[in-house]
Amino acid sequence: MSSRRTWMIVVATGLPLLLFPGNWVRSQDKASGPTLTSLDKRDFGKAVLLRSGVRRSPVVNVVERVRDSVVNIHSERTIHGSVPAEFFSLSPSQNRINGMGTGIIIDPRGYIVTNHHVVEDVSVIRIRLSDGATQSALVVARSPETDLALLKIDVGRPLATMPLGTAADLMVGETVIAIGNAYGYEHTVSVGVVSAIKRDVSLNKEMSYKSLIQTDASINPGNSGGPLLNINGDLVGVNVAIRAGAQGIGFTIPVDSVIRVVAEMLKSRRRASSYDGLVYHDQLEACAEGVIRRVVLDQSDANSPAIGAGIKKGDEIVQVGDVPVNCSFDVERGLMDRRSGEPIHIVVRREGKEQSVELALASSPSRSRARPDDLVWAKLGVQLRTINAELVSRVNRQLHGGLEVTMVDAEGAAARAGIKRGDILVGLHNWEILNLENVAYVLGHPDLPTFNPLSFYIVRNGQVRRGWISSVN
């Protein structure tokens, strides 16, 4: 008669314990089993050091490297209209609700990048630093189309800044780390992988994102605006959205897009007061260590401060003032808060050799002498770029080209008229628009006041649409 053998799994203190059949279980004697010995203090110290060395993973190093450059954002939003009574039980008052998000310090003077939706329509913004200090913040620039915003706090001391990487060489399956104010739990760390790259995501008819990073690192409400990092601790993106109802599907704006938009926002803040004439772009070059980012001058406007300083097309900008330049918004950080006429020390690399020049910002030129893109921004509040004419002629054979709207000032005339990022401007008043000079011609026309409201024509979703812009002067 054979005996029945049974298996049981018992969970104790989180660990499974396997119980064998009775005839397989025997006590351990001194000869066959391990023995317990006491450790003196020196041995115990060695054991602790050995254990900590094994436990200190790359993730631990990343968190320690960037923690001080991640901030927690707490906001208050005013409620308008009627709200169900049960809603108020969660609110500190009957007309405000609390919000939360995360931010990334990009400049020691207290400039912070986050998502626009984190600070949209809020009345109070409070920043909590990693050391617990709390400071009120102001929104200094915003880009609703890209869902990015720039905040500023004043703490009277230099702050740690986030090291920047690139998303250009991201690999699917690569380890990434998210840090954020998840559900109000400050500096929450989660780890995952890059699930996909170049994802296009639509939230609704009004908001869509292009070329996002998808990750399974846990991203929750409150993570918005926070960093996604590679295993070296370099920023590869800004967390922006999750798939509702899904598990492990989060999305991140690539850092390369963030750098471009932040540079544009900083530059737009200076346009009202100063002028440099620099036109530059980020250039990525592959190397044995990965990717190197450089900032290269495209051109300098004629008779501009840049031309007067001797800066030439093709120069690599190495340093502006006391700011080393690793990306395009470093140029703007170096020029920020500078007064017109103040000499700024700039280092450029030309034909492999570094040269030092001095550039003095000029006062913002009159609109009649302004660069076309400056004039367009001042009067309409948009930035435009030339696109392939075939994209327009496919929609309507009578059209010969147009300009894509790449950025919209939320307070500008174009935004008030309903123009959005991604629209293609093909006409103003009675003129077809093929380049920036065409736009400048219309905006500088002596009869412009009689055009108000100024009619415009755009291509959106494969259709030509007409609208009117008021208050253009």
- Which residues carry out catalysis? 117, 147, 224
Measured CA to CA, the distance from residue 325 to residue 334 in angstroms comes to: 8
Whether 295 and 330 have beta carbons less than 8 Å apart is answered as yes
Residue 201, classified by CB atoms within 10 Å of its CB into exposed (0-12), middle (13-18) or buried (19+), is middle
Q: Which residues pair with 275 in a beta bridge?
A: 362
Measured CA to CA, the distance from residue 108 to residue 129 in angstroms comes to: 13
Residue 295, classified by CB atoms within 10 Å of its CB into exposed (0-12), middle (13-18) or buried (19+), is buried
Measured CA to CA, the distance from residue 332 to residue 334 in angstroms comes to: 5
Place of tokens 């253009």: 472
E-strand spans in 185-234? 185-202, 208-215, 227-230
CA-to-CA dists, residue 220 to 66, 116, 148, 195, angstroms: 20, 17, 18, 17
User: Residue 105: which of 153, 52, 162, 146 has the closest Cα?
Assistant: 162
SS3 440: helix
CB-side neighbour CA atoms (13 Å) of 360: 8
Q: What is the DSSP letter of 190?
A: E
Measured CA to CA, the distance from residue 262 to residue 227 in angstroms comes to: 15
